[in-house]
Chains A and B, each alone.
Chain A
Amino acid sequence: MAASKKKPSPRSKSSRIVLLVATRKGAWLMHGDSARKNWRVEGPHFLGHVVSHLVLDPRDGRTLLAATKTGHLGPTVMRSTDRGRTWKEAAKPPAFAKAPEGEKGRSVDHTFWLTPGPRNEPNVWYAGTSPQGLFRSNDGGVTWQPFSPINDDLQYRKWMGTVQDGTPDGPKLHSIIVDPRDARHMIFGMSGGGVHESTDSGRTWKAILDGMETVAGFDRNEPTFHDPHCIRICPTNPDRLYQQNHCGIYRRDGRSAWVRIGRSMPKKVGDIGFPLVVHPRDDDTVWVFPMDGTTVWPRTSPDGKPGVYTTRNAGKTWQRLDAGLPKSQAWWTVKRQSMTGDAQDPVGLYFGTTSGELWMSRDEGRRWSCIAQHLPEIYAVEAAELY
């Protein structure tokens, strides 16, 4: 039997989990007790605002960034340095460069994805936008600048397509990953545009599509036709990536091709979905939340029976985890940023539905319970540890 690649959990100080819940109508913080059994709700913050992503800076444990807009007003980023007690708007939110005279430039509709930079760059943040754009802040989110040439590069603009080519609520740049070993190594995905990798701090990028499939009839060599939904890096093995794509679940090791590990999912369920969560210490374990991708693509739980699926062997086999979840007539959608895990042992898992329910498991998915209802449409859930 091969030795387990699961790393032991570190000796943990006393800590508790806070869930950062971004919704169509505001943001909420859910504070857990040390056993993750009781949850206190804090909010709403920004009631009525569309909050796409709410992230706590793990480097200082107190700075929060929220990507917000309203239905009518332009986008911005809100910043708190006291865990949400007070907020201040970014002085210069992400915005594309002004187009030369006579040309039609793009405008950011909303910031979609926030990623804090590496530990040794404490004030660096990255943002992905809709339409697709990549931005960086060097001052903790106060001001933002276009990052790398891709926002205006002719080839990338062609691959990105137009808003007509994207999702109904706009094409997105997401899953911004900074390699924890080397900040020069970065990855991002585009819904319509594929997966891209840089090894020189974003100066140049390369599409990494080998092994990925597209919808039948589309050219697999063309980045435009690839639709990655969510890409994650394994914290304990950063050479390994997992990806939930419009066309299946994939794993990539090193610089090899993507392998469609979702082929071993049950045929009746399929391997289409939005979110994907990786185990913090075991690079063979991930969790996904399948959705119905048949006919008109309902994007709801297959057959109205929600279930989380996990693999403990890097995708060779999958197991269904649905104890505590509704057994029928539960037509849930869980968006790509709405499922997450904490780093405790056993791992706590959390997901939020577009019907406003927040569910969790304290035992890596063996049993689920609902910890919040009646929230607006949930767009993102992040779990942060407070000491």
Chain B
Amino acid sequence: MKVLIPGALRSYTERSEVEVSGATLAAVLAELDRRYSGIRFRIIDEQDRIRPHIRLFVNGDQVRDLAQPLAATDELVIVQALSGG
């Protein structure tokens, strides 16, 4: 499936878009971390919670449960909050 990477995380992937497989959101994130070591901990904490200023969208719908099943044709977008300062 296609995963869109926000600018702040492109130092890991060197690309804005990567192809990753996995049956669930958790599996996709684990595969991302296997290929781009360290990326998962920047968006998911050690208690497997999505970090406060990060949102994950699958096919345009926000997902909060890492057990969410995914299909190979799905698109995951990792977004960080627009606000900063």
Contact = CB atoms under 8 A, between A and B. Distances in A.
Contact of A74 (B41, B81, B84, B85): B41
Contacts of A106: 47
Majority secondary structure, A binding face:
loop
A107 B42 CA distance: 12
Contacts of B47: 96, 98-99, 104-107
B38 A73 contact: no
A95 B46 CA distance: 6
Given A91-B37, A91-B38, A70 B45 contact: no
A74 B48 contact: no
Interface string B30-49: 00000001100111111111
B51 interface: yes
B13 to A, nearest CB: 14
A243 interface: no
A357 interface: no
B39 to A, nearest CB: 10
Q: Which of B42, B46, B80 has its CB near the most chain A CB atoms (within 10 A)?
A: B46
Contact of B41 (A93, A98, A99): A93
Contacts of B45: 74, 95, 107-108
Interface in B39-79: 41-49, 51, 53-54
A107 B38 contact: no
A71 interface: yes
Contact of A73 (B37, B43, B46): B43
Nearest to A108: B46
Contacts of B53: 71-72
Contacts of B37: 91
Interface string A70-104: 11111010000000000001110101111100001
Residue with the greatest number of chain B CB neighbours at <10 A, chosen from A73, A91, A97, A104: A73
The interface size bin for chain A is 20 to 34
Nearest to A104: B47
Interface of B is mostly: loop
Contacts, number: 53
A163 B37 CA distance: 29
A79 to B, nearest CB: 12
Contacts of B43: 73-74
A371 B84 CA distance: 29
Interface in A87-142: 89-91, 93, 95-99, 104-108
A74 B49 contact: no
B84 A73 contact: no
A348 B56 CA distance: 50
B1 interface: no
A73 B8 contact: yes
Interface of B: 8-9, 37-38, 41-49, 51, 53-54, 80-81, 84-85
Which 9 pairs from chain A and chain B are nearest by CB?
Answer: A107-B45, A72-B53, A72-B80, A95-B46, A73-B42, A105-B47, A74-B42, A71-B84, A89-B38
Given A96-B46, A98-B47, 7 more contacts: A73-B54, A73-B80, A74-B42, A76-B38, A93-B41, A105-B46, A108-B45
8 contacts: A73-B9, A73-B43, A73-B51, A73-B80, A90-B38, A96-B47, A99-B47, A108-B45
Interface of A: 70-74, 76, 89-91, 93, 95-99, 104-108
